[in-house]
Amino acid sequence: MKTIVLQALSGVGLLMTILPAILVFTGHLENGLFALTALGTLLWFVTAPLWLKEQ
Amino acid sequence: MNLNQKWLDKIDQVDEFEREPVPVTKQKGLRSFLGMYAGEHTAGTEFVIGPLFVVHGVTAFDLVFGLLIGNLLAVMSWAFLCAPIAVKKRITLYYQMEKIGGKHLTVVYNIVNALMFCFLAGSMIAVAATAVGIPFGLQMPSLSDIYPTSIGWVVAVLAIGAVTSVVAMLGYNTVARFANIAAPWMILVFVASAIAVLPDLGVHSLSDFWAVAKSKIWTGVVMEGQSKFTIWHVIFFAWFCNMAMHIGMADMSIFRYAKKWKYGFSSAAGMYVGHYIAWLASGILYALFLQESQGSNEFAPGPIAYRAVGITGALCVIIAGWTTANPTIYRSGLAIQAILPKSKTWKVTFIVGMVTSVAACFPGLVMKLLDFVALYGLILMPMGAVIFIDVWLFPKMGLTSDYALKNKKNFNMAAALAWILTLMACWFINELWGVEIFFLGLPGWFIAALLYIIISHAYQKKIIT
């Protein structure tokens, strides 16, 4: 269960790395690109080592 | 037991099977290699190579199709040349070289090899420094810079070099683990950076892309003082930029851990993500930089990535440089460790890391990266041909494989002559017919193979001594 939650959070982290850029490209996001991708990065590097270690 | 002692004990226990086949229990699954290759080849070099294609005036068509073909050839070289021998022998390139060429020849080879790896890793540390220097207002190098540009630059480079060396000292598992964690994120940052800046280049829908790619990104216009690249340059560069590792057999040291030789195809993860998507992405970023700076001569991947996605971009440049420099310093450490088998791998890796850090202080390594990468592959390639012929053809031809080991020789003249004469032949081809360095690997491999067979025949039959 813990692993699934961690993997989900990592997935959200990756999604937040790429999705804001796509939204900028499509014209749906004007501000916040830097902050959102940074948040996604943080989420990935905090959670991914925990479940990748178990695997 | 204090912390220092625990630390020393831990790194003393790092066993990399330098002089014995990797046991079955230590073999790794496909995922390790996919992660390793995707991480290693989506790396700091990609932030340099993509823009350098723009600098050399490659057209959009030449780049897109040239990379498809060149990368396919590279994957096939790993899968059909390097991995089968690595899995058959399960020893490092350096120990295999010692069996064939003898200890003395291996010493020469390893010194050359280690130096080349140091320079390559050094260029990646320099790339990372362009990102570390952003908050400090570091003066960035330009396309024409060869020597260190400031004290700040040197300090930034040495700091990154020290951290990279410590991680490399912990061995393959640490390197693979770090690459595995960083790889998926790094790839997405490359893609995100390029997508985010497309509107600034005038791409507002997918249908705009090709027209903008041809008119604003890969325009075919060469920057001042640079040479013109064609589709052939792109194909051969993509194929041979890792020639030392596939045709040159350096990745025997990696694939000796593979359960099956077919894991050689895992290199496609590195080629089509790193050497395709990332090269295109970094080219797009550089085109925007040129547009906004009105053709500035500055060449610094850190600020360019920061312009696209902020702190994430700068962090990506640092980590990308790190994941290339790490395994490269590790490989270099193995090369020297083979010369000094009684020394601890971590101690050797530390010294190699220091040499690398000093080399990294010279931005010329980055600016001439395409030429350097081609040169280092070419210099090491002949020994890959020697190993290939020795393993597969010699038993069928009635010649002795692992000649130095079986005859207790410290110096196999046949292997040495094949190496030196091949490089001389390549130099002649370059000088006489003006064939550029990017193309010399192909004729060079056949020359090396033929020379090794002919000279070995004479040498092993004692016609020459």
Q: pLDDT by residue (tens digit) across B74-132?
A: 999 999 999 999 999 999 888 899 999 999 998 898 888 888 888 888 998 999 999 98
In a domain, A47, yes or no: no
Mean residue pLDDT across chain B: 89
* First vs last C-alpha separation in chain B: 57
Percentage, residues of chain B above pLDDT 90: 60
In a domain, A45, yes or no: no
Q: Is B138 on the interface with A (CB under 8 A)?
A: no
How many domains in chain A? 1
Picking from B16-25, B116-125, B369-378, which range would have the lowest pLDDT averaged per residue? Answer: B16-25
Ordered DSSP codes for B71-134: HHHHHHHIIIIIHHHHHHH-S-HHHHHHHHH-HHHHHHHHHHHHHHHHHHHHHHHHHHHHHHTT
Quickly list H helices, B275-310: 279-293, 301-309
Selected residues 6-45 of chain A with any CB under 8 Å from a CB in chain B = 13-14, 17-18, 20-22, 24-25, 27, 33-35, 37-38, 40-41, 44-45
| B130, two tokens | 């362009």
The secondary structure of chain B in percent helix, strand, coil, rounded to multiples of 5, reads 75, 0, 25
Distance, in Å, from the CA atom of A35 to the CA atom of A24, rounded to the nearest integer, reads: 13
Contact (CB, 8 A) for A38 and A17: no
In a domain, A15, yes or no: yes
In a domain, A31, yes or no: yes
In a domain, A51, yes or no: no
pLDDT tens digits, one per residue of B413-422: 999 999 999 9
Contact (CB, 8 A) for B295 and B64: no
Q: How confident is the model at residue B49 (pLDDT cuts 50, 70, 90)?
A: very high
| Cβ contact, residue pair A21, B195, below 8 Å | yes
In a domain, A52, yes or no: no
Predicted ipTM > 0.90: yes
User: Which of B32, B185, B186, B189 should we substitute to test contact with A (largest number of A Cβ atoms within 10 Å)?
Assistant: B185
Contact (CB, 8 A) for B199 and B205: no
Residues of chain A in contact with residue B303, where contact means CB-CB under 8 angstroms, are: none
User: What are chain B's domains?
Assistant: 25-380 (1.10.4160.10)
B210 vs B22, B62, B205, B259, CA distance in Å?
A: 48, 13, 10, 42
Quickly list H helices, B294-344: 301-309, 311-339
Residues of chain A in contact with residue B203, where contact means CB-CB under 8 angstroms, are: 25
Q: Is A49 on the interface with B (CB under 8 A)?
A: yes
Q: What pLDDT score was predicted for residue B377? A: 93
The range of the structural domain enclosing residue A28 comes to: 1-36
Q: Which of B346, B348, B347, B372 minimizes the C-alpha distance to B359?
A: B372
Distance, in Å, from the CA atom of B171 to the CA atom of B183, rounded to the nearest integer, reads: 18
Which residue on chain B is closest to A13 by alpha carbon? B185
Which class for B104: exposed (0-12), middle (13-18), buried (19 or more C-beta within 10 A)? middle
Residues of chain A in contact with residue B189, where contact means CB-CB under 8 angstroms, are: 17, 37, 41
Q: What is the dihedral of CA B120, B125, B130, B134, to 10 degrees?
A: 170
**pLDDT over 70 at B1, yes or no:** no
In a domain, A1, yes or no: yes
Place of tokens 């450490």: B333
Distance, in Å, from the CA atom of B396 to the CA atom of B393, rounded to the nearest integer, reads: 5
- The beta-carbon neighbor of B196 closest among A13, A24, A49 is A24
In a domain, A18, yes or no: yes
pLDDT tens digits, one per residue of B22-40: 888 888 889 888 877 877 7
Distance, in Å, from the CA atom of B124 to the CA atom of B160, rounded to the nearest integer, reads: 10
pLDDT tens digits, one per residue of B53-63: 999 999 999 99
- Closest Cα in chain B, distance from residue A15 (Å): 9
pLDDT tens digits, one per residue of B317-334: 988 888 778 777 877 887
In DSSP terms, B258 is beta-bridged to B28
| Cβ contact, residue pair A17, B312, below 8 Å | yes
